[in-house]
Amino acid sequence: MAEDQPHLCIQMSDSNTNGIPSRRPSSPDLAGRAGSVLTFHNICYRVKIKTGFLCCQKTATKEVLRDVNGIMRPGLNAILGPTGSGKSSLLDILAARKDPHGLSGDILINGAPQPANFKCTSGYVVQDDVVMGTLTVRENLTFSAALRLPKSVKEQEKRERVNQIIKELGLSKVADSKVGTQFTRGVSGGERKRTNIGMELITDPAILFLDEPTTGLDASTANAVLLLLKRMSEQGKTIIFSIHQPRYSIFRLFDNLTLLAAGRVLYHGPAQHAIGYFQSLGYQCEPFNNPADFFLDVINGDSTAVAMNKTDEINTAESTEERTEYDKTLAEHFAEKYSSSTYYRETKAQLENISLGNKKKTKSVFRQITYANSFLHQLKWVSRRTFKNMVRNPQASIAQVSVTAFLGLVVGALFFGLKEDSTGLQNRVGAMFFLTTNQCFSSISAIELFVEEKKIFLHEYISGYYRISAYFISKLMADLIPIRTLPSIIFTCIVYFMLGLKPTVEAFFTMMFTLMMVSYTATSMALAIAAGQSVVAVANLLMTITFVFMIVSSIIQFSRLNPEILEMPKCRNPTSTEFN
């Protein structure tokens, strides 16, 4: 096989036009509409970063991308570069998923400005797979089809589309298997990645973006995923993806290559011409060396094939600052070489011809999100998925009910049969304090609702699956009603009668309603805190601190309003005649 031959770099020039051996014709199932040509003109991106602590913080501007130009045609378009080179930022900018503040330049689709809802009509596969693990492969694809395809598409056509994608992606054997969670084992990593890709193919996008599609996959699985993308690109799709360090069998699939370092373009052109370009600069790829590894080594100044006088300087640099400064200088050196190359001049000439008829800026259209379906339709499907997720992952709900019942029995045993005297009054206050405190701290589990699914929510919301209100209401319906209401009812039924409280229907339901309201309020606070956090531990800490301050302030306020209740009853004198 070609990938087992020793002189990998030499073979690149001997391969066919696409740099891959001939294979069987692709199935036309996913042919869809032809891909589009995406061009980007003079892209610059700067972000503000804060350094220091609190009052000593300073704001500095960091240049992420500078004067980036290029053309992405139908085929496999790879963005390659070392860590921190700006490849993920460039991918997000091309996909209209980056904050436009600090961004300048133009992005055109087939010579016209990006549509306002481009992020919703294009496909975007994030680096970390965002699929609901408790659902099957088919259910995840059906969910995407139900929300991203318009209502004008009949249900039968949606099912056929789902079955077509399952067949084309090779997921037929695991179509009805659960994707898998941290508690339950599901499909393999490659099948999970293909499911993620399939959810984006539901709308048959002309342009598909992928952020590090081989992350977390073994070499064989990563190769299989790229072969799948290659087949799709041969059917006319424009596939743009960032990748860090691919093996040779993956690199040879690339049609177009963009090399980035320190936010500058070092090469943009046909992938099979990249080795010849670097040879013209004095860098010879060694036998047995992977071209992708060779490019990264040259960019980082670590290649043994470097024919420049500065090689010894980089190897003998003593400090990190010297190494960083040299890397920046090296990146600028390659960027200047590229700007004077024929590849750059040809690209600029084509970009100027494309942009002649378009003078409209596209910076302001990045934020618009459009939806294919109504609010009620979104609420129906998101609620259905949320309830399925809760039913198929019952550990949390069962544990919540079990712990509530156990604590109810403990509290009932501790305060069993309260008497109607001053001591009984104090014990009642203590019991009520314990009940409300338990309702508060048991609601901390609501934090995981938003934190664990934040990546899924952000991706689906930006892609136009559903509105924020539909997602939030469905979460309330699935968590607030069963998980917060049922434990309050169980808790009241156990504790109320064991404590010997007022035996009237009105008093019983008043206490039940009060505990429910306490649980609802605490849950709402937990959701509010969780919405702004990405780490469960941090959200737990903030929630605990909030509840502690609430408890302390309530005790202080209660003691001021009812000082007589907190007074200890006077002990009787054992020598008194009454005692005798």
Q: Does some domain include residue 313?
A: no
Helix 505-530 crosses helix 422-442 at what angle (to 10 degrees)? 40
**Is residue 417 situated within a structural domain?**
yes
| Long-range contacts, stretch 533-537, CB < 8 angstroms, 24+ apart | 533/447, 533/451, 534/451, 534/454, 535/451, 536/447, 536/448, 536/451, 536/452
* pLDDT band of 18, cuts 50, 70, 90: very low
Taking CA atoms, 234 is separated from 18, 71, 94, 254, 297, in Å, by: 10, 18, 21, 11, 31
Contact (CB, 8 A) for 145 and 404: no
Place 443 in a pLDDT band, splitting at 50, 70 and 90: confident
Q: Of 242, 246, 240, nearest to 87 (Cα)?
A: 242
Q: How many CB atoms lie within 10 A of CB 414?
A: 13
Assess contact for 38 and 315: CB atoms under 8 A: no
Average predicted confidence (pLDDT) for the chain: 79
Instruction: Determine the 3-state secondary structure of 243 from DSSP.
Output: strand
Please state, in angstroms and rounded to a whole number, the distance separating the CA atoms of residues 298 and 308: 10
Q: How many CB atoms lie within 10 A of CB 218?
A: 12
Averaged pLDDT for residues 264-272: 92
Sign of CA dihedral 277, 278, 284, 289: negative
- For the segment 404-426, the average pLDDT, to the nearest whole number, is 78
User: What token pair was written down for 424?
Assistant: 């009984």
Given this model, what pLDDT does residue 502 score?
80
How far, CA to CA in Å, does 156 sit from each of 31, 93, 162, 385, 466?
Answer: 20, 36, 10, 20, 22
CB 84 within 8 A of CB 260: no
How far is Cα 387 from Cα 390, in angstroms, rounded to an integer?
Answer: 5
Please give the structure tokens belonging to residue 565.
Answer: 């209740």
Q: Are 65 and 90 in contact (CB under 8 A)?
A: yes
- Measured torsion, CA atoms of residues 454, 455, 458, 461, in degrees rounded to the nearest 10: -100
Residues 6+ apart with CB under 8 A from 320: none
Share of the chain above pLDDT 90, in %: 22
- Predicted confidence (pLDDT) per residue in 107-148, tens digit: 999 888 888 888 888 899 988 878 888 899 999 999 999 999
Query: Please, which pLDDT band fits residue 395 given cuts at 50, 70 and 90?
Result: low
SS3 162: helix
Whole-angstrom Cα distance, residue 245 to residue 250?
10
Residue 471 has pLDDT above 60, yes or no: yes
Residue 90: its pLDDT value, please?
Answer: 92
Q: For residue 205, is pLDDT > 80? A: yes
> Domain count of the chain?
1
Q: Which band of pLDDT confidence, cut at 50, 70 and 90, is reported for residue 17?
A: very low
Concatenated DSSP letters for 423-478?
HHHHHHHHHHHHHHHHHHHHGGGGHHHHHHTHHHHHHHHHTTS--HHHHHHHHIII
Confirm if 124 and 92 have CB atoms less than 8 A apart: no
* pLDDT at residue 491, rounded to an integer: 82
Give the model's pLDDT for residue 133. Answer: 87
177 part of a folded domain: no
Inside any domain, residue 217 = no
Domain assignment of residue 552, yes or no: yes
Confirm whether 551 is domain-assigned.
yes
pLDDT 10s digits, 547-564: 888 878 777 766 666 665
Could you tell me what percent of the chain has a pLDDT over 70?
A: 81
pLDDT given at position 4:
40
Strands 207-211 and 238-243: parallel
Mention every residue, 6+ apart, whose C-beta is less than 8 A from residue 176: 136, 137, 138
Q: Which two tokens stand for residue 136?
A: 């099957």
Which of 478 and 219 is assigned the larger pLDDT?
Answer: 219
pLDDT tens profile 503-538: 888 888 888 888 888 888 888 888 888 877 777 788
Q: Is the pLDDT reported for residue 178 higher than 70?
A: yes
Of residues 329 and 376, more confidently modeled: 376
Most confident of 26-30, 116-120, 565-569, 573-577: 116-120
d(Cα 221, Cα 251) in Å, to the nearest integer? 15
Query: What Cα–Cα distance (Å) separates residue 101 from each residue in 44, 98, 366, 461?
Result: 11, 9, 11, 20
User: Strands 123-125 and 207-211, how do they pair?
Assistant: parallel
Q: Do strands 256-261 and 75-80 pair parallel, antiparallel, or not at all (unpaired)?
A: parallel
3-class state of residue 525 by DSSP: helix
Q: What is the per-residue pLDDT across 65-114, written as a single tens digit (0 to 9) for each?
A: 989 999 999 999 999 988 888 889 999 999 988 888 888 888 999 888 88
3-state SS, 332-350, equals HHHHHHHHCCHHHHHHHHH
What is the domain range of residue 524?
375-564
Q: Does a structural domain hold residue 273?
A: no
Burial class (CB in 10 A: 0-12, 13-18, 19+), 4: exposed
Mean pLDDT, range 321-325, rounded to an integer:
48
How far is the C-alpha of 176 from the C-alpha of 529, rounded, in Å?
A: 36
In a domain, 397, yes or no: yes
Rounded Cα distance between 218 and 225, Å, is 11
Give CA torsion, residues 530, 536, 539, 543, to 10 deg.
100
Residue 349, pLDDT above cutoff 50: yes
**Computed over its alpha carbons, how large is the radius of gyration of the chain?**
31
The answer to whether residue 321 scores a pLDDT higher than 70 is no
Distance, in Å, from the CA atom of 408 to the CA atom of 414, rounded to the nearest integer, reads: 10
